[in-house]
Structure 1
Amino acid sequence: MGVTVLCAALVIAALVMPNTVVDVGPAKFVRLPSEGIIAAAVALALPRRPRIVLASVFGVVLGALTLINALDMGFKQYLGRSFNAILDWSLLGDAESYLEDTMGRTATLAVSVGAVVLVLLLFVLLALATVRLSNLLARHPGRATRGTLIAGVVWITCSSFGVQLAGGVPLAADSTATTLEIKARQVKDTLHDEAEFQKVAKVDAFGNTPPDQLLTSLRGKDVVFTFIESYGRSAIEDPIEAPGVDNTLAVRTQALAKAGFHAKSGWLTSATYGGSSWLGHSTTMSGLWVSNQQRYRTVMASDHLSITKAFQKTGDFDTVGVMPGIQKGWPEQSYYGLDKVYNAFQLGYKGPKFSWSTMPDQYALQQFQDRVHSKKPADGKSRMSFVILTSSHQPWAPIPKMVPWDQLGDGSIFNAIQKAGNKASDVIADTTKSRQEYGKSVQYSVTALTEWLERYGNDNTVLVFLGDHQPIARVSGNHASRDVPISIVAKDPKVLDAIDSWNWTDGLRPAHNAPVWKMSAFRDKFLTAYGSTPHPKTN
């Protein structure tokens, strides 16, 4: 009897399981699932062999839906969207790499093996449970039929009158059917989106613009595009994170002003949330809404003009990328039009990793200075640089600290700082601490970048820096926007005069009511503001 009760509880829990962390609660698991009632009725009508086969299949399908619901929970918590059964399996490898960087190889291996075993066990247990319950129904057809009819009447009545449990949870549930419908629609929409987005990517307002009509206002400038990992609106407006970050932005605005630099700042709505930074990078640079991996692959294989490639296309700029987060081949270099790229292994770093981040931002920026910025390009060209900073990547422990710039050396100075920092496992498990440490990591990254500019920038330096996405929901909140700050900093007043019509806020901190654009709008606005003439390409 006890085993049968456990089987029933397991099946019902799987049938009514929510797909978001915030919805998990006792009321969600005491509802009456319509799918269970229908399955019982079908089982009562079938002979033994078909019944057992169907019950087994039902259990396996239920296991698959339970897995998808669990993945939905994780994706909504970390990426602000549901799991896409067509596109997102490849991201599980990235998740494993993140765990390895955060927890170590041994712990990650244990977690991975445990997850596989748990999934297999889930499928087996649900299949066995549904078969056992179907056999029980077959042994007591009279009582089972009456019980099924009563349950059906109760479900219809509760559904019709909207009967609810505590917290407004409907007693009559159809979660599994709803999940199947949503996922089927998602598959259809994904396949349709692939074809439609390929058409969109072929249309380019600047696709046929001659080189001498691109970025004419920035010729002779040293332009640096920098993404700060997870630098989102929450860092500036959240009550826990904002005080420290806002103070840093105010202090650094003043320091830059003393050095002759001035800034304007606004907001962009990112195409991603919590992770998948490359979607934010490509959306900003391409002017296309790159919101999933399929779109990303399409853009990377296209000739749709990126901002960075526009600089290369002029013939007047050397183009260089500094990517401390890249630890493998990066074929995207061609799409971005970068003549040279420095990855994590080409910056001479001998210090410790800081969780996922391969090196502190300050070190990466000094290497950018030594290897790129301090050297004049050949043939009298200007330079455009694309720099991706990583120190503010979750789990925000341990966090580097600023050290004297002339003591950075090969990065060994960070050994003691890394050892004295927080453990990732302690921060991950504590929401308040995660929010606090996230704010500190943004302060560090902004300080490192603006100190670099203050120390090494010149009259021709133009810095564009922004966030790639908001941090995960545990830090930014379950209903946070996808907005990220963006700033343009320069000494030459003509650079900021060119964007005066944008109505951005003076300084490094965008005002709450500063303009908010979709991230994909930035490319055309930037190209237009700095002297590019549209010559559309339509196929």
Structure 2
Amino acid sequence: MPNLPRICLALLLLNSALTFQNRWPTIGVRWVPELSLELAVLLLALALLAAWRGVPGRATRNVLFGCLLVLVLGRYLDVTVPALMGRSINLYWDSQHLPRIVAMFMDNVAGWQWLLALLALLALLFALAAVLRWAFSTIMATLARPVGRRGIGALTLVLLMMYGAGRLSPRSPTEHWFALPVTGMLVEQAKLILDATVFRDHGRIAAQPPLPVSDLGRLGGGDLFVIFFESYGALVFDDPCFAVPLAGDFATFEHSLAAFGWRVVSARVESSTFGGSSWLAHSSLLSGLRIADQGDYQDLLASDRATLTSRLATVGYRTISVMPGLKYAWPEGQFYRFDRIYNAEGLQYPGPAYGWWVIPDQYSLYHIHQAEVAPSGRAPLLVFYPTINSHAPFAPLPPYRPDWSVFDAPPTAAVVAEAVELNQRLDGRELASAYLQSVRYNLAVLGGYLRRYALANALLLVLGDHQPPAVVGGRDIPWQVPVHLFSRDPALIEAFEQAGFQPGIMPGPAALGGIEMLGPLLLRTLDSRRPNAPQPTPLTATAPQIR
């Protein structure tokens, strides 16, 4: 066969473009010694077509090359997204969040740097397309010659027979020589698009049972905090890489709170999302339904379903939402009917920016305490607060300030300079270290608030929204998140232990259920009309003034 080395190089390039794997934990790829089933099928079909009617014309070749590029792009998404996020991609829903993701990564980057990066990316894509075009044209030219058609046809036929033998016989290892087909991923994406549009069951939400009604009598008029720690996953207790260095932090945290009368019970639940899309977990808890994709979310917002917010409002609670990461209009927030939504602008943060998220979580909690919790003669509160500083990339991280009153004064020049030094970007394995530090920051903020400011009759539900992205803790791990309840009322603590929570900060090994069961569990457990429900222990609503 003429030009055999050139033909072999072309085949190697085309095969490699459909079999590469992710180079974890980056967006790069690496070569692997696997074979492409799609390429073998395509080449055999082209060899038979060329023998029957001749090599396809230019227009057909362009279409075929375009299909090849789609397969290459599909392969990249199929191996990169699960490696970084820990879940498969859903092109229909995930693509809608791309503009905000780009905006986050463009933060504090000069325009000329982005322009240079864009030009470099375009040059790389053009070069890759040119190389693949050369390889594809070389194979098409080979198919135009009888000896080339016979050689490629025989090779691909042998490969397909090897694949078939491996599929038919468990003793044959030949199937494992082939990469997973890309077409399976594309078919799955087509199915997801149809399920989200043509075949979507828009009546599912309305058909679900409503949230239980509760008088919240067992809370005795105390405030209820629902605090979502961003990216706080069960791996902080399960993975030795995180559990070992954090063990002392958790022990110190629990011991310090016990000295102030705070008791904690813990459990774990299955989140409805992984590595991102936090609002799915938030809406699952508030609605009592498993909201697992954007379609479920939109159907919920279009319904008139009662939520945890409206249930508490019915019995006289003032409901507020603290959203320091909310920088854009949030019209869907009207569905939850919060009495007040404190977004990034509403929090009135005057200090230096810490990354794209800007506002330290410690400041947000302190601001809400001063504005909503501290005033006397008010209604009891539901405070719904998703934190933001432990969001990827987990840096720059603001320092924890033991003296919370520092936020009452304008930031000093020293504080501004410190923030500038912290404004750095982390890549690769450094993210795991940054994530660990963000968990420590969460514990410091929560512990400081409970010791210094939290009212004695408050109940705090603190949980994670999802596991961190797979680039931090790996893929193929459970979608579980820890849940902690903090109270100074022994009767309440006992009630939640009876509901399945474990004493202490360490959650049990098995999940109680999905994250959506927490809202109904709260309402039922806090209802004083429940048979044999112990009454709340009388507690003063004043906060300890100890740092």
Give yes or no for TM over 0.5: yes
User: TM-score under structure 2 normalisation?
Assistant: 0.84
Deviations 1:245-271 (A, max 9, x none): 332222222222222221111101111
Aligned-partner Cα distance in 2 for 1:152–1:187: 34
Quote the residue 2:260 is aligned against. Answer: 259
Q: Which residue of 2 aligns with 1:342?
A: 342
Q: Is 1:483 the counterpart of 2:480 in the alignment?
A: yes
Change (3 A) 1:203 1:129: same
Specify the alignment match of 1:143 in structure 2: 148
Runs of 5+ consecutive residues of structure 2 not aligned to the other structure: 531-547
Which one of 448, 465, 490 corresponds to residue 445 of structure 2? 448
Q: How many residues align?
A: 518
Structure 1 residues 455 and 154, CA gap change in structure 2 (3 angstroms) = closer
Q: Deviations over 1:140-195 (max 9, x none)?
A: 1233234313431343135315799xx98733567244334433444444447632
Give the superposition deviation at 1:484: 0.9
User: Does the 8 Å contact 2:163/2:174 carry over to 1?
Assistant: no
- Maintained 8 Å contact 2:34/2:177: no
In 1, Cα distance between equivalents of 2:328 and 2:205? 27
Match of 2:512 among 492, 513, 516: 516
Task: Report if aligned partners of 1:101, 1:356 keep a CA contact under 8 Å in 2.
Answer: yes
Looking at structure 2, the residues matched to 485 and 224 of structure 1 have their Cα atoms a distance apart, in angstroms, of: 16
Higher mean alpha-carbon deviation, 171-180 vs 338-347, is at 171-180
Identity %: 26
Paired with 1:233 and 1:502, the residues of 2 have a C-alpha distance of 20
- 1:107 and 1:359 mapped to 2: Cα distance? 25
Task: Give the AA of the match of 1:96.
Answer: V
Change (3 A) 1:72 1:179: closer
CA 1:468/1:506 → structure 2, altered by over 3 Å: closer, same or farther? same
Residues 235 and 122 of structure 1: CA distance in aligned 2, closer, same or farther (over 3 Å): same
Cα distance in 2 for partners of 1:78, 1:214 equals 44
Structure 1 counterpart SS, 2:282: helix
Residue 63 of structure 1 aligns with which residue?
A: 69
Given residue 352 of structure 2, which amino acid in structure 1 is its aligned partner? P
What corresponds to 1:201 in structure 2? Answer: 205
Give the partner amino acid of 1:458: L
| Separation in structure 2 between the aligned mates of residue 488 and residue 252 of structure 1, nearest angstrom | 14
Q: How does 1:390-405 map to 2 (within 5 A)?
A: 390-403=388-401, 404-405=403-404
Distance 2:381 2:132 in 1: 60
1:312 corresponds to: 313
CA RMSD, 1 decimal:
3.2
> Given residue 338 of structure 1, which amino acid in structure 2 is its aligned partner?
F
TM-superposed CA distance for 1:10, in Å, is 3.5
Secondary structure of 1:485's aligned partner: strand
Per-residue deviation, 1:467: 0.8
Give the alignment of 1:259-408 within 5 angstroms: 259-314=260-315, 316-376=316-376, 380-403=378-401, 404-408=403-407
Secondary structure of the residue that 1:225 maps to in structure 2? strand
- In the alignment, which residue of structure 1 is the partner of 2:79? 73
Matched, 1:87 2:83: no
Partner of 1:436, secondary structure, is helix
Is the deviation greater in 221-230 or in 74-83? 74-83
Aligned residue for 1:87, secondary structure, equals helix
> Matched residue of 1:220: which SS?
coil
The letter of the residue matching 2:204 is V
- 1:397 match: secondary structure: coil
Does residue 503 of the first structure (1) align with residue 507 of the second (2)? Answer: no
User: In structure 2, how many angstroms separate the alpha carbons of the residues matched to 1:153 and 1:49?
Assistant: 22
1:42 shift after superposition: 4.8
Flag the 1:79–1:453 CA change in 2: closer, same or farther, 3 A.
Answer: same
Q: Note the C-alpha offset of 1:104.
A: 6.0
Is 1:234 matched with 2:235? yes
What TM-score comes out, normalization by structure 1 length?
0.86
Q: Could you say which residue in structure 2 is the equivalent of 1:160?
A: 165
For residues 468 and 328 of structure 1, the distance between their equivalents in structure 2, rounded to whole angstroms, comes to 21
Bigger shift: residues 150-159 or 217-226: 150-159
**1:337-392 CA-partner distances (Å, limit 9, x unpaired):** 21111111222223333223322111111111122221246xx5211111121111
Q: Secondary structure at the match of 1:86?
A: helix
Question: What does residue 537 of structure 1 align with?
Answer: none
Q: What's the CA shift for 1:105?
A: 5.6
Whichever structure has more helix as a proportion of its residues is: 1
What CA distance in whole angstroms lies between the structure 1 residues aligned with 2:164 and 2:157?
A: 10
The amino acid of 2:189's aligned partner reads K
Distance 1:14 1:55, change over 3 A: farther
| Matched letter for residue 392 of structure 2 | Q
- Alpha-carbon separation, structure 1, partners of 2:514 and 2:125: 39
CA contact (8 A) 2:233 2:464 kept: yes
1:170-189 equivalences in 2 (<5 Å): 170-172=176-178, 175-189=181-195
Q: Distance in 1 between matches of 2:449 and 2:346?
A: 20
**Counterparts of 2:115 and 2:480 in 1: how far apart (Å)?**
35
What do the CA deviations read for 1:419-463 (whole angstroms, capped 9, x no partner)? 343731xx313x1x3222211111111210221122111222111
Q: In structure 2, do the counterparts of structure 1 residues 184 and 333 end up closer, same or farther at CA, with 3 Å as the change threshold?
A: closer
Distance in 2 (alpha carbons) for counterparts of 1:214 and 1:106: 59
CA distance in 1, matches of 2:437, 2:282: 23
Which consecutive residues of structure 1, in runs of 5 or more, have no partner in the other structure?
A: 535-539
Q: Does 1:10 align with 2:13?
A: yes
Aligned residue identity for 1:312: A
Q: Which moved more, 1:31-40 or 1:252-261?
A: 31-40
- For the 8 Å contact 1:318–1:384, the answer to whether it is kept is yes
* C-alpha contact 2:323 2:343 (8 A) present in aligned 1: yes
